[in-house]
């Protein structure tokens, strides 16, 4: 219960505050102004702003004091670290609240994955709210670790940190009144529903908004963003590790539209989190750009998201609000010197303070379940002269649907690495079904060896690509040995691997150590002939996502996105 009586006495200066931050340059998100004043903090809340004395005092010496930053949409799993390590990294950058979508872990572990993530985010130096994953599995063309319908999800709405339904990626299901999609929308009718509808415009966007969807983080052009605002859909200005849309959308942000926009990272990887930052990096980018005022930028980073999600005590420095605060003496790099969470100092001079306990992770361990590997499980019989090939397009998730002639030896098709054509396969790894889809891919860049990963959107089966079957199978075996993760193999030898033992998505190591190991993986993969600046693991992770045109692969085989059907590798 909020200690109103105590806060009233502190505000009236009848009692001294537990802490007073003196002489701070305070940002007021309501008036969009800055002023030098003191902030009185007690019992986790802001009691007053003005001139105060306290039991403890900190002289800010004119440094900028802002509300703690809020990420409106993020997948914790993209940080590849445990929720605790992820939270430590974020709070050191001034983020005190995130709205997480547990879509990835839910596709691996279903209800157990959701329960784990809720428990693992219960006592952290940041607040973690969640949106229930709306698409598990993402499509009927693949086998994930779970299938969650409206009845499975409904009990979670009672949890105080669950706010509603996460990104509704199945917008065709919305537009066509798909019964399962409608059931989820009705379930979340009195809650917040997030959207995911790239390029949707016109009457289709009207229909999408009519269904109660009130946000979208997939805008890439100002006209898309403005159309959403006009339809009552808030725009998340996204800047992640893969999708970078912030600067291209800033033209839509002005005094009239800014309240309906806020920042989101969606997916942000360890290297970027450590080297660049989190929401503070988005603040830096936007402020350096100069098109949007700093006052609007700081609201994009705090108050606007709090209001959208109904977090009435967050996002502002004002009496009665939670004392989630960040102090910046340097507004060039936007790295906070101090961060308070509910009035408790959790970051001082870049160091995260306090001890936090990990929770039981057994429910999401041992997630790689494969049938015994056989020497012939990756063979593609040459019953004709041509095969379908996934054609990579540089710096895009779109692929080409190629028909090509490949050499055959002893009645089976072989890779053609000298023309950058190698094999790719997806092993179902959740239910021990033995399903394996095998095909060919052009443009990945491997000249020898193989790489494998259990980060494979959205069902996160085991994806592997390589020049020889033997190296591909060894990479798969290494992934199985380490309990999920990444592996690099060449000439019958494991060159490097990174264990992601938590659901095949997360490591239990510190994020700094994960970053070091990822850097080593990138160095090692260059030995296989890849050029600098190309991340084959990130590319591989999206080759199994059968919702982005034109040719992808699942454990059921190649998928033609134009017909939304499985097609044979060999063209008869």
Position 40 scores a pLDDT of: 98
Average pLDDT over residues 161-186: 95
* Residue 547 banded pLDDT, cuts 50, 70, 90: confident
User: Is the model's pLDDT at 535 over the cut of 90?
Assistant: no
Position 139 scores a pLDDT of: 81
* Residue 54 banded pLDDT, cuts 50, 70, 90: very high
Task: Please give the mean pLDDT across all residues of the chain.
Answer: 96
Structure token pair of residue 377: 């499980």
Helix axes 511-525, 83-91, angle to 10 degrees: 100
Structure token pair of residue 297: 């930028």
Better-scored residue on pLDDT, 216 or 545:
216
Average pLDDT over residues 170-189: 95
Please provide the size of the chain in residues. 572
* Residue 397 banded pLDDT, cuts 50, 70, 90: confident
Position 138 scores a pLDDT of: 82
Position 514 scores a pLDDT of: 97
Better-scored residue on pLDDT, 311 or 527:
311
User: Is the model's pLDDT at 474 over the cut of 80?
Assistant: yes
Average pLDDT over residues 436-457: 96
Position 8 scores a pLDDT of: 98
* Residue 127 banded pLDDT, cuts 50, 70, 90: very high
Task: Evaluate whether 133 touches 107 at the Cβ level (below 8 Å).
Answer: yes
Question: What is the C-alpha to C-alpha distance for residues 489 and 470, in angstroms, rounded to an integer?
Answer: 10
Position 307 scores a pLDDT of: 98
Position 309 scores a pLDDT of: 98
- Please report, rounded to a whole number, the percentage of residues in the chain having pLDDT higher than 90: 92
Task: Answer whether the bond into residue 550 is a cis peptide, omega within 30°.
Answer: yes
Question: What is the C-alpha to C-alpha distance for residues 319 and 11, in angstroms, rounded to an integer?
Answer: 8
User: Is the model's pLDDT at 534 over the cut of 80?
Assistant: no
Long-range contacts of 229-234 (CB under 8 A, 24+ apart): 229/257, 229/260, 229/261, 231/205, 231/206, 233/195, 233/205, 233/208, 233/209, 234/260, 234/261, 234/262, 234/304, 234/308
Average pLDDT over residues 202-215: 97
Question: What is the C-alpha to C-alpha distance for residues 424 and 461, in angstroms, rounded to an integer?
Answer: 13
Question: What is the C-alpha to C-alpha distance for residues 265 and 242, in angstroms, rounded to an integer?
Answer: 10
* Residue 242 banded pLDDT, cuts 50, 70, 90: confident
* Residue 491 banded pLDDT, cuts 50, 70, 90: very high
Long-range contacts of 529-534 (CB under 8 A, 24+ apart): 529/445, 529/446, 529/447, 529/448, 530/445, 530/446, 531/445, 534/445
Residue 122 neighbours by CB under 8 Å, 6+ apart: 359
Position 525 scores a pLDDT of: 94
Position 358 scores a pLDDT of: 84
Average pLDDT over residues 343-358: 95
Q: First CA to last CA across the chain, in angstroms?
A: 70
Position 395 scores a pLDDT of: 74
Average pLDDT over residues 35-52: 98
Position 444 scores a pLDDT of: 94
Question: What is the C-alpha to C-alpha distance for residues 319 and 209, in angstroms, rounded to an integer?
Answer: 35
Position 66 scores a pLDDT of: 98
What pTM, to 2 d.p., does this model score?
Answer: 0.95
Q: Mapping DSSP to helix (H, G, I), strand (E, B) and coil, where does residue 454 land? A: coil
| Domains contained in the chain, CATH given | 4-62 (2.30.40.10), 71-304 (3.20.20.140), 380-571 (no CATH)
Average pLDDT over residues 451-455: 98
Q: How many CB atoms lie within 10 A of CB 533?
A: 6
Task: Evaluate whether 137 touches 149 at the Cβ level (below 8 Å).
Answer: no
* Residue 530 banded pLDDT, cuts 50, 70, 90: confident
Position 105 scores a pLDDT of: 97
User: Is the model's pLDDT at 351 over the cut of 80?
Assistant: yes
User: Is the model's pLDDT at 132 over the cut of 80?
Assistant: yes
Question: What is the C-alpha to C-alpha distance for residues 356 and 104, in angstroms, rounded to an integer?
Answer: 24
Instruction: List alpha helices for 24-102, DSSP H.
Output: 83-91
* Residue 140 banded pLDDT, cuts 50, 70, 90: confident
Question: What is the C-alpha to C-alpha distance for residues 467 and 461, in angstroms, rounded to an integer?
Answer: 20
CA-based max dimension of the chain: 90
Question: What is the C-alpha to C-alpha distance for residues 536 and 555, in angstroms, rounded to an integer?
Answer: 20
The residue among 37, 36, 39, 6 whose CA lies nearest residue 20 is: 39
Position 461 scores a pLDDT of: 97
* Residue 329 banded pLDDT, cuts 50, 70, 90: very high
Position 266 scores a pLDDT of: 95
* Residue 529 banded pLDDT, cuts 50, 70, 90: confident
Position 295 scores a pLDDT of: 98
């Amino acid at each position: 219960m909020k200690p109103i009586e105590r806060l009233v006495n502190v505000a009236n200066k009848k009692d001294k505050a537990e802490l007073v931050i003196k002489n701070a340059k305070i940002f007021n998100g309501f008036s969009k102004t800055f002023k030098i004043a003191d902030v009185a903090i007690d019992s986790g809340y802001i009691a007053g702003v003005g001139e105060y004395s306290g039991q403890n005092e900190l002289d800010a010496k004119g440094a900028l004091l802002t509300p703690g930053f809020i990420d409106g949409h993020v997948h914790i799993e993209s940080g590849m670290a445990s929720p605790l390590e992820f939270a430590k990294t974020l709070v050191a950058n001034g983020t005190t609240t995130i709205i997480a979508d547990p879509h990835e872990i839910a596709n691996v572990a279903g209800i157990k994955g959701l329960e784990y993530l809720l428990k693992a985010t219960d006592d952290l130096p940041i607040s973690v709210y969640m949106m229930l994953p709306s698409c598990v599995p993402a499509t009927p063309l693949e086998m994930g670790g779970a299938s969650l319908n409206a009845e499975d999800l409904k009990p979670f709405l009672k949890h105080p940190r669950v706010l509603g339904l996460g990104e509704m990626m199945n917008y065709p299901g919305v537009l066509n009144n798909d019964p399962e999609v409608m059931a989820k929308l009705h379930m979340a009718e009195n809650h917040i529903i997030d959207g995911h509808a790239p390029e949707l415009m016109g009457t289709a966007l009207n229909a999408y908004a009519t269904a109660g969807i009130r946000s979208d983080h997939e805008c890439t052009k100002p006209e898309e963003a403005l159309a959403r605002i006009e339809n009552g859909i808030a725009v998340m200005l996204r800047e992640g590790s893969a999708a970078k849309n912030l600067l291209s959308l800033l033209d839509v942000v002005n005094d009239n539209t800014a309240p309906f926009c806020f920042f989101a990272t969606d997916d942000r990887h360890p290297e970027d989190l450590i080297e660049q930052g989190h929401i503070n990096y988005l603040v830096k980018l936007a402020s350096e750009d100069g098109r949007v005022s700093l006052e609007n930028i700081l609201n994009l980073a705090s108050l606007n998201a709090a209001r959208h999600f109904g977090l009435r005590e967050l996002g502002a420095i004002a009496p009665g609000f939670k004392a989630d605060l960040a102090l910046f003496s340097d507004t060039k790099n936007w790295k906070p010197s101090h961060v308070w969470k509910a009035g408790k100092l959790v970051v001082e001079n870049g160091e995260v303070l306090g001890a936090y306990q990990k929770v039981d992770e057994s429910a999401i361990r041992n997630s790689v379940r494969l049938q015994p590997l056989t020497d012939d499980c990756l063979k593609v019989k040459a019953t004709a002269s041509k095969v379908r090939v996934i054609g990579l397009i540089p710096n895009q998730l779109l692929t080409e649907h190629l028909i090509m002639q490949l050499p055959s030896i002893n009645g089976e098709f072989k890779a053609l690495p000298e023309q950058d054509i190698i094999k790719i396969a997806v092993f179902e790894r959740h239910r021990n079904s033995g399903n394996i889809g095998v095909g060919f891919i052009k443009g990945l860049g491997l000249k020898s060896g193989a790489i494998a990963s259990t980060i494979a959107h959205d069902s996160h089966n085991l994806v592997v690509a390589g020049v020889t079957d033997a190296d591909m199978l060894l990479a798969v075996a290494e992934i199985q040995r380490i309990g999920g993760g990444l592996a690099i193999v060449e000439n019958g030898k494991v060159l490097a691997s990174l264990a992601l033992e938590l659901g095949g998505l997360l490591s239990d190591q510190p994020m700094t150590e994960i970053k070091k190991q990822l850097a080593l993986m990138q160095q090692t993969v260059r030995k296989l002939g890849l050029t600098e600046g190309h991340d084959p693991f990130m590319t591989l992770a999206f080759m199994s996502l059968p919702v982005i045109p034109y040719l992808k692969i699942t454990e059921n085989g190649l998928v033609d996105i134009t017909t939304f059907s499985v097609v044979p590798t060999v063209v008869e």
